[in-house]
Structure 1
Amino acid sequence: MSERPTMVVVSGMSGSGKSVALKTLEDLGYYCTDNLPADLLPAFVDSVGREAETPRKLAVGIDVRNRHQELTQVSHWLSQVGSMGFDPRLVFFDTEDAVLIRRYADTRRRHPLSHLGLSLADAIARERQVLKPLRTLADAVVNTSDLNVHQLRRRVITELGLADTSLSLLFESFAYRHGVPSDADFVFDARALPNPHWDPRLRPLSGRDREVAEYLDGSPEFGEYLQQVSAFLDIWLPRMRSATRSYVTIAVGCSGGRHRSVYLAERLAAHARASGWEDVATHHRELD
């Protein structure tokens, strides 16, 4: 990699895995921000560059949510970033239309261009047209059609020249009503734990919120469950290392995939990092 500070622009089709890519970069020590107006790219780099401890690795998400007419000027703004002493790179994430349509059906999310009154297929076609200048400009195009979350993380690491041989751990939360992740190596059921969903104050929140964390931390059952699962993984995860294995998925499920499973996955990931595992990520299927 270059000895100059790095600035990576993450772009691509909605539903192609850009959020996973940005989270991967954040886990790798990048200072990340998403959905930055493209014309503010040089100002962002300049502002961060004035910090006493300037991050040497920056990542910015720029996609179809931007003002469309400005996306044709990204090349100019990347040149400005280069003149500021950074090594700019643009990585574009793409996915086949049929896969994107299936992903939207599975997650029940709205496409960013749905406000235009377009069908999903037409919105995807319009997005391709809008993002064509960025795809043409990209230093690397990553097709995620056949990649799971682990494989996508590995591709991001490879494209940035950060490949290693360590075992990658993914702690993934999910809702049982939408099915168990097909690539899970270990599955833990959190439905026996107290459910924040039944507290009207906590129902709109998620396991990422402090109030939900305090609720669960106040439960003796949660503490006992966390301790026992952590002890199990402390024994068996090191035994998963092998010359042919590069990743392990630990899936945690609950009824809605928003509260118990999310917080438990975050706590288990934090425990793994504290135990010395370097490549640790979380993915919340019903939230991300």
Structure 2
Amino acid sequence: MRLVIVSGRSGSGKSTALDVLEDNGFYCIDNLPAGLLTDLAERFLPHSDMLLPQVAVSIDARNLLSQLRRFPELLDEVRQRNIQCDVLYLDAEDDTLLKRFSETRRRHPLTNENRSLAEAIAYESQLLSPIIDRADLRIDTTRLNLYQLRDTLKLRLLGQSQSGTSFLIQSFGFKRGMPTDADLVFDARCLPNPYWKPELRDFSGLDQPVIEYLDAQPEAQEMYQDILAYLNKWLPRFASSNRAYVTIAIGCTGGHHRSVYLTSRLSTALKQSFKNVQVRHRDLV
């Protein structure tokens, strides 16, 4: 029995998230009044005809303020019924949300004659703060297109084949922005850069020539060992604190060589100690 609560600011991708979940066997309800969450858990989920009930609901700023404030209490009541409940919160940078609304010419649900679009976007964060504080998984959709968002949702929400904490280790390039939804970030820009070797530039950190080059760099090996030791020590602490999702991000300048190399090596090593390790290379085309 599983319940996924989808929330986030308007324009961040909530409809896409519900579509992905529906395509993968979830019964989806859009814009559920938060006050009905416990009724849903009590009346619908235990009596479903489905062998393994999977339900997803969207709760957003269209709710009454009084119900949004009660969200933490309502969530605790649901979880007391032994229902696996994941809270997914989607968001994007303010400028990105403004651009999306301008391009689609949609009306933001919180705009009115006294509140501009920019003000509505900022106000929405305040309204949703009780949900933000209890989110199990946050995804920043600023730099994700529709297909990348779908793939990310499938990886994080549907790719969890084992119970317990899901660990995602991902590479990224700082020049495209640091992932704001990462729990741990490591910076590999101090390592020798294969990009400045003309014969290596067109390869990635997954290709043997780059792997051999970085394998031969003492600094790269020292950083790998230090990060691995840190993760082996502290990831079990994250898991023991009932964290459903943990994201580890490894960054370099472009997200093609050093970060990809480290992410690949670290994920291989971590899979020997942890059951649910996922890998993603954000900027590797």
Matched residues, percent identical? Answer: 41
Q: Which of 145, 148, 161 is matched with 1:151 structurally?
A: 148
The alignment's TM-score, normalised by the length of structure 2, stands at 0.54
Question: How many angstroms apart in 2 are the aligned matches of 1:54 and 1:41?
Answer: 21
Q: 1:160 corresponds to which letter in structure 2?
A: L
RMSD, aligned α-carbons: 2.1
Contact 2:11 2:100 in 1 (8 A): yes
SS of the residue aligned with 1:115? coil
Contact 2:6 2:88 in 1 (8 A): yes
The alignment's TM-score, normalised by the length of structure 1, stands at 0.53
SS of the residue aligned with 2:128? helix
Note the alpha carbon deviations across 1:174-202, whole angstroms, 9 max, x for none: xxxxxxxxxxxxxxxxxxxxxxxxxxxxx
Unpaired runs of at least 5, structure 2: 162-285
Contact 2:72 2:130 in 1 (8 A): no
Q: Which of 72, 81, 101 is matched with 1:75 structurally?
A: 72
Aligned to 2:82: 85
Q: 1:19 corresponds to which letter in structure 2?
A: S
Question: How many angstroms apart in 2 are the aligned matches of 1:68 and 1:116?
Answer: 20
Contact 2:5 2:88 in 1 (8 A): yes
Aligned to 2:95: 98
Contact 1:30 1:55 in 2 (8 A): no
Aligned to 1:21: 17
Q: After the TM superposition, which residues 154-193 of structure 1 pair with which residues of structure 2 at under 5 Å, given as runs? A: 154-162=151-159
Residues 116, 136 of structure 1: alpha-carbon distance in 2 compared, 3 angstrom cutoff = farther
Q: Residue 16 of structure 1: CA displacement?
A: 0.3
Unpaired runs of at least 5, structure 1: 165-288
Deviates more, 1:42-51 or 1:64-73: 42-51
Q: Residue 36 of structure 1: CA displacement?
A: 0.5
Q: Which of 29, 32, 37 is matched with 1:33 structurally?
A: 29
Q: Residue 33 of structure 1: CA displacement?
A: 0.2
Note the alpha carbon deviations across 1:144-203, whole angstroms, 9 max, x for none: 000011111111122225179xxxxxxxxxxxxxxxxxxxxxxxxxxxxxxxxxxxxxxx
Question: How many angstroms apart in 1 are the aligned matches of 2:113 and 2:132?
Answer: 23
SS of the residue aligned with 2:142? coil
Contact 2:141 2:149 in 1 (8 A): yes
Aligned to 2:109: 112
Q: Residue 34 of structure 1: CA displacement?
A: 0.7
SS of the residue aligned with 1:114? coil
Q: After the TM superposition, which residues 215-254 of structure 1 pair with which residues of structure 2 at under 5 Å, given as runs? A: none
Q: Residue 128 of structure 1: CA displacement?
A: 1.0
Give the total of aligned pairs: 162
